[in-house]
Chains A and B, each alone.
Chain A
């Protein structure tokens, strides 16, 4: 029966695992089993799903394409440029973007099929190249927004208020690929190439043409994904699609495609994708930390491949290439056991997590940082937890593990589904998150923003710790004070595409031009929020621009990095200022390698997120109020729809020891 349907035991096992997973989450996460949530899972899987579809046949030929994520970034940026600066109609932008994808895939195809270079190395090169082009064109900073509602509908709209608009696109592409791979003459030759490329050539199969086709198509599909992604987020930015290649490959491998080539199906890959998407969604709904998903996916990947290897080595004795049928149930069973073990793990983690939840209705306040690993946000969390304890509310603290606007959207969607009482978001990208925040408001959830604001009508209050202009001016003025005679300065930023930092840079440039014309910006270098990279970059800056007398580091880990570089170079004439935390700059402030850092009290800010969220959820902030009482912070001013925390805090060696964050 199964044989007639061409469904292998591995796929049956995957289906079983997926079903079990869904049952588990339906029980453990109450709002999981709703149509709305299921289609949301699908919506967030579309871009990745397209890549999974494109990568499946490539892995079946024994190849790999690491450049798809970068191709998304490059296409998105060029799409935005054409729309924004070229004033081309959307249809033309779409067409040209697809052509660009064709060219990106074409370069891979040329090097892999034409010059017969190993795909791993070629696409490792284009992985850097395409991302680099995206960064070069935009200078990391520009993000193109302001698309027409019709275009945004493609990524954000619904059919019958339920089915995401992009789903049909995924289905069409999937169907086309399924026919190509499983029904067509070309598909058969792809499998033949995967098993034995030389043998396929001797059978008259145009091997290089077929490989070229797949890599070209992969580029086109990546650009299609990019367009949908832009419509989905409402913005085009150079860092879109970062890390997607590995996620897609993970899904494909979980779906049973062998990286040695020859084996695997699209059905399996899609099952693999949904297995992972459901896992991620379910964990969010259960308010388990995002990092746990990564750990689980890693373990799962190993378990699946290990079981698969055990099965094939077990069958090895009978026929070299054959598969003995009696081993298959064993395989399926083993996969189920692995899934069971993981489920238990999840269950324990959930128990640990929800242990605090008492009976009766307690408010749930969901707070999202921009990225979880950033020391700045970590110190804010302490304040948030303090407020949660004080008020007796449940706190969900979760966010992307690295800067990722799309993951923020996904989390908000999941929180809406879960039904939290308040959502407090540190917005990574204004344009992309506002739609989903409005949706949250429509569901009666109190929506506040902190650290960076969303669109005005997308939230109830913005918790304003300091405006970008305020920060930039404070920094620039402090710089001018330290260099009374003027001179050159350098900026060490976070990631080149980080929106906050780019806004600060723009405002710093403005302030220099208007108030401090004797200051000169010599260079801007990225640190990728990596202390060591900031250190190395600063060392190079000091040598390449010996005139630089001031380093302005505007990412928390970059300040100690820059300070260490200045200290090790023994350049007492170079000053370092920036935005950072007292805890990681304390020694440098004391030894004089850092003069000043600016920050607000992050702990207070964290405290405010939860406190204000709870007040708003309980409707305890009357409309038109001029101030509000926020626990230990006392009365805070409300200006319009902004709750003002206070001015940026100037931290130097005199006050650093009194600050504990």
Chain B
């Protein structure tokens, strides 16, 4: 493939020096530098707002830097654009796959591959053939005639990778590729990444999951406040060191210690079925002050359970809340019964980006800040102000729009919304996903605080250490039902994983 003569230094895949970029006067990137070698997995880490996405956008040509130098395979790039960077072999896979829901898988895969061709027509037969081959080459199996809108998130991710492979990418940029993948799918992805590396592809790997990075990456570049502050070999650093580099300080314990004696049963579910979303025969109970973790693969039914309990995909099964038997038919009913749900997709469901912090916080508890249906804006402000202070939401004022906040602070606003309903039971679906390290530990502390105040917490997380570290008990999902429940003491990473994969584990 690549013809690298032994006597000359291997050309860098990417050499970026002192790139800067400002948006309307705000420095997003002060001094972004990156050296990427062919055939390496190079992790790019940093807190949210550190400049990772700005740097990657410059590389893919989505935006132009204000100053600095960028070379791709030794070529000096002055005027970059998506077509140019693609023709140089750069391909990007984003966390939210950029798919066309109304078009078929074949077209989704092949359309970008045809961009360079001069032909103005489309050959459907060869498209289908090509798509099939590419999907098979990754060891997946998706019908190329399916509409992409009907695929699961993981399947969409597969389509994205097939696209990149089809493009014969020599530089592959992966932004949080595992965020929505199950463990098994993640393993497959890693195997694929390693294979690509061995074929000489340079991979930029962006993730918040440090464990992943430490096992996968060869080298790691750390960004902080728009500046590249370190580039180190993965074998030379550990988790603590990386966190220190990212936040500029060291964080003592990752998961807060806690000592809560669980109280009476807050929620009890017996034999819940929801065939619409593939749930069957689910039984569990959570006590006051208890954190009940839900582990399992993506698509195993955890989020579906949360949505069913919260009334978004309602069923007629009765559940027992604080000793009362009820059915929940809508989110409004769930809220009325003291059930809060922090959804998985923060930007779409968690907060309303265009609304102010205050409006977001009170949105689920409007009647609490209203008299006879009319809003009391003074009361609303003071409630919002209270949460801003207590949750340490970093924002100039409560009338700042939520969209202007960092991911971590948005997540705190979303949490505040559910605290404001004074819930007895709180379901947290991936509460720290895409959140920077600093906010992450703050959120962990908050969760513990909820439990200490007597809330029953159901914690869904795909990050095993988080589930293991935070939960009192862990329910493990497999194929739409809870196959086992483990106590904190008996739960280990291996046990949970093998249960999640459907293996029996001796008690």
Contacts and interface: CB of A to CB of B under 8 A. Distances in A.
A319 B373 contact: no
A318 B26 contact: yes
Given A185-B375, A319-B404, A320-B353, A201 B24 contact: no
A192 B401 contact: no
A462 interface: no
Given A203-B331, A204-B334, 16 more contacts: A183-B375, A192-B363, A195-B352, A195-B355, A200-B352, A202-B349, A204-B332, A204-B364, A206-B330, A315-B24, A318-B26, A319-B401, A319-B403, A321-B353, A321-B401, A322-B400
Given A183-B375, A185-B375, A196-B354, A201 B363 contact: no
A45 interface: no
Kindly list the 9 A-B residue pairs having the minimum CB-CB distance in the complex, ordered from nearest.
A317-B24, A321-B403, A202-B349, A321-B354, A204-B331, A317-B23, A185-B366, A319-B404, A204-B335
Nearest to A320: B403
Contacts of A187: 375
Most buried by A among B331, B363, B375, B404: B363
Contacts of B400: 322
Given A318-B24, A322-B401, A198 B374 contact: no
A470 to B, nearest CB: 63
B498 interface: no
A199 B348 CA distance: 6
Contacts of A322: 400-401, 403-404
Nearest to B359: A188
Interface in B473-503: none
A184 interface: yes
Interface string B89-106: 000000000000000000
A262 interface: yes
Contact of B349 (A188, A199, A262): A199
B374 A183 contact: yes
Contacts of A205: 331-332, 363
Given A202-B312, A204-B331, A179 B404 contact: no
Contacts of A191: 355, 359
A200 B330 CA distance: 12
Interface of B: 23-26, 312, 330-332, 334-335, 341, 343, 348-355, 359, 362-364, 366-367, 370, 373-375, 400-404, 417
A206 B334 CA distance: 12
Contacts of A200: 352, 363
Nearest to B400: A322
Interface of A: 179, 183-189, 191-192, 195-196, 198-206, 262, 315, 317-322, 324
A203 B363 contact: yes
15 contacts: A183-B375, A186-B373, A195-B353, A199-B351, A200-B352, A200-B363, A201-B331, A202-B312, A202-B350, A203-B417, A204-B330, A204-B332, A204-B364, A318-B26, A321-B402
A201 B24 CA distance: 34
Contacts of A317: 23-24, 26
Contacts of B25: 318
A276 to B, nearest CB: 28
Contacts of B404: 318-319, 321-322
A186 B374 CA distance: 9
Contacts of A321: 353-354, 401-404
A315 B401 CA distance: 14
A186 B370 CA distance: 11
A315 B24 CA distance: 8
Contact of B343 (A195, A202, A262, A315): A202
Nearest to A318: B24
Contacts of B374: 179, 183-185
A317 B23 CA distance: 5
A202 B404 CA distance: 21
A192 B359 contact: yes
Contacts of B348: 196, 198-199
A317 B66 CA distance: 14
A192 to B, nearest CB: 6
A196 B350 CA distance: 11
Most buried by A among B334, B341, B349: B349
Contacts of A204: 330-332, 334-335, 363-364
A185 B355 contact: no
Nearest to A327: B24
Contacts of B23: 317-318
A202 B370 contact: no
A203 B341 CA distance: 9
A322 B403 CA distance: 7
Contacts of A185: 366-367, 370, 373-375
Nearest to A187: B375
Contacts of B402: 321
B375 A196 contact: no
A199 B367 contact: no
Most buried by B among A204, A262, A317, A319: A204
Contact of B353 (A183, A196, A202): A196
Contact of A202 (B26, B331, B354, B403): B331
Contacts of B334: 204
B494 to A, nearest CB: 35
B419 to A, nearest CB: 13
B370 A184 contact: yes
B309 to A, nearest CB: 13
A186 B373 CA distance: 8
Contacts of B353: 195-196, 320-321
Nearest to B336: A204
A237 to B, nearest CB: 39
Contacts of A196: 348, 352-354
Given A179-B374, A185-B370, A196-B354, A206 B332 contact: yes
Given A183-B374, A184-B373, A188-B359, A203 B364 contact: yes
Nearest to A179: B374
B24 A324 contact: yes
Contacts of B330: 204, 206
A184 B335 CA distance: 19
Contacts of A262: 354
A587 to B, nearest CB: 48
Contacts of A202: 312, 331, 341, 343, 349-350
A149 to B, nearest CB: 40
A401 B366 CA distance: 49
Contacts of B403: 319-322
Contacts of B417: 203
A74 to B, nearest CB: 32
Nearest to B339: A204
B376 to A, nearest CB: 10
A179 B371 CA distance: 13
Contacts of B331: 201-205
Nearest to A314: B24
Contacts of B312: 201-202
A215 B29 CA distance: 48
A369 B374 CA distance: 51
B458 to A, nearest CB: 16
A204 B328 CA distance: 12
A202 B330 CA distance: 10
Nearest to B363: A203
A195 B354 contact: yes
Nearest to A194: B354
Contacts of B343: 202
Given A189-B366, A322-B403, A198 B349 contact: yes
Most buried by B among A202, A206, A262, A321: A202
A188 B417 CA distance: 15
A324 B24 CA distance: 10
B486 to A, nearest CB: 30
A32 to B, nearest CB: 39
